[in-house]
Structure 1
Amino acid sequence: MIFRRLPQFFAKQRPASPLSNLLSNNEKWAASMKRSDPAFFQKLANQSSPKIMWIGCADSRVSANKVIGMPVGSLFVHRNVANVVAHTDFNCLSSLEYAVDVHAVEHIIVCGHYGCGGVQAALGNVRAGLADNWLRHIRDVRVKHAESLKEIEDARDRFDALCELNVIEQVRNVCATTTVQRAWERNQSLAVHGWIYRLQDGIIRDLGVCMQSESDINYVYRTRKS
Structure 2
Amino acid sequence: MVLSVSRLAAARMPLKNCLFQQQASSPWRATAGMARQFCSKGGDKTPTDPALERLFKHNREWVDKVNKEDPNFFPKLGSGQSPEFLYIGCSDSRVEISSLIGLEMGELFVHRNIANMVVSSDLNLLAVMTYAVEHLKVKHILVTGHYDCGGVRAGMGNKDIGPVLDAWVQNIRDVYRLHQDELDAIVDDEARHRRLVELNVAEQCLNVYKTAVVQKRRYETHADPEAPFAYPRVHGLVFDPATGLVSKVPSDYRRTVKVLRGMYDLFDEKDFKAPKGFLLKKK
Shorter-chain TM-score above 0.5? yes
Q: Does residue 138 of structure 2 align to residue 96 of structure 1?
A: no
Q: Which has the larger radius of gyration?
A: 2
Of 192, 195, 198, the residue aligned with 2:237 is 195
The structure-2 alpha-carbon separation of the partners of 1:45 and 1:11, relative to structure 1 and needing over 3 Å to count, comes to: farther
Q: Give, in whole Å, the separation in 2 of the partners of 1:126 and 1:205.
A: 31
Q: Give, in whole Å, the separation in 1 of the partners of 2:84 and 2:181.
A: 38
CA contact (8 A) 1:138 1:166 kept: yes
Q: Give, in whole Å, the separation in 2 of the partners of 1:155 and 1:217.
A: 31
Q: Which residue of 1 aligns with 2:206?
A: 172
Higher share in strand: 1
Amino acid across the alignment from 2:95:
V
Alignment of 1:61-210 (within 5 A): 61-129=94-162, 130-187=164-221, 189-209=231-251
Per-residue CA deviations over 1:15-48 (Å, capped at 9, x if unaligned) read 2123111011111111111111112111001130
Q: Which has the higher contact order (CA 8 A, sep 6+)?
A: 1
What 5-or-longer segments of structure 1 have no aligned partner?
Answer: 1-9, 220-226
CA contact (8 A) 2:206 2:257 kept: no
Amino acid across the alignment from 1:116:
C
Per-residue CA deviations over 1:127-176 (Å, capped at 9, x if unaligned) read 22121111111011011111111111111111111111100010000110
The structure-2 alpha-carbon separation of the partners of 1:213 and 1:48, relative to structure 1 and needing over 3 Å to count, comes to: farther
The structure-2 alpha-carbon separation of the partners of 1:101 and 1:11, relative to structure 1 and needing over 3 Å to count, comes to: farther
Q: Give, in whole Å, the separation in 2 of the partners of 1:42 and 1:207.
A: 38
TM-score after normalising by structure 2: 0.70
Q: Which residue of 2 aligns with 1:16?
A: 48
Q: Give, in whole Å, the separation in 2 of the partners of 1:161 and 1:30.
A: 41
Range moving further from structure 2, 106-115 or 188-197: 188-197
Range moving further from structure 2, 210-219 or 179-188: 210-219
C-alpha displacement of 1:110: 0.3
What 5-or-longer segments of structure 2 have no aligned partner?
Answer: 1-41, 222-229, 262-283
C-alpha displacement of 1:216: 5.3
TM-score after normalising by structure 1: 0.87
C-alpha displacement of 1:11: 9.5
Q: Give, in whole Å, the separation in 2 of the partners of 1:214 and 1:91.
A: 27
Percent of pairs identical after alignment? Answer: 39
SS at match of 2:247: strand
Q: Give, in whole Å, the separation in 2 of the partners of 1:124 and 1:164.
A: 17
Q: Which residue of 1 aligns with 2:63?
A: 30
- The alignment of Structure 1 onto Structure 2 pairs a total of residues equal to 210
C-alpha displacement of 1:186: 1.1
The structure-2 alpha-carbon separation of the partners of 1:217 and 1:26, relative to structure 1 and needing over 3 Å to count, comes to: farther
The structure-2 alpha-carbon separation of the partners of 1:178 and 1:65, relative to structure 1 and needing over 3 Å to count, comes to: same
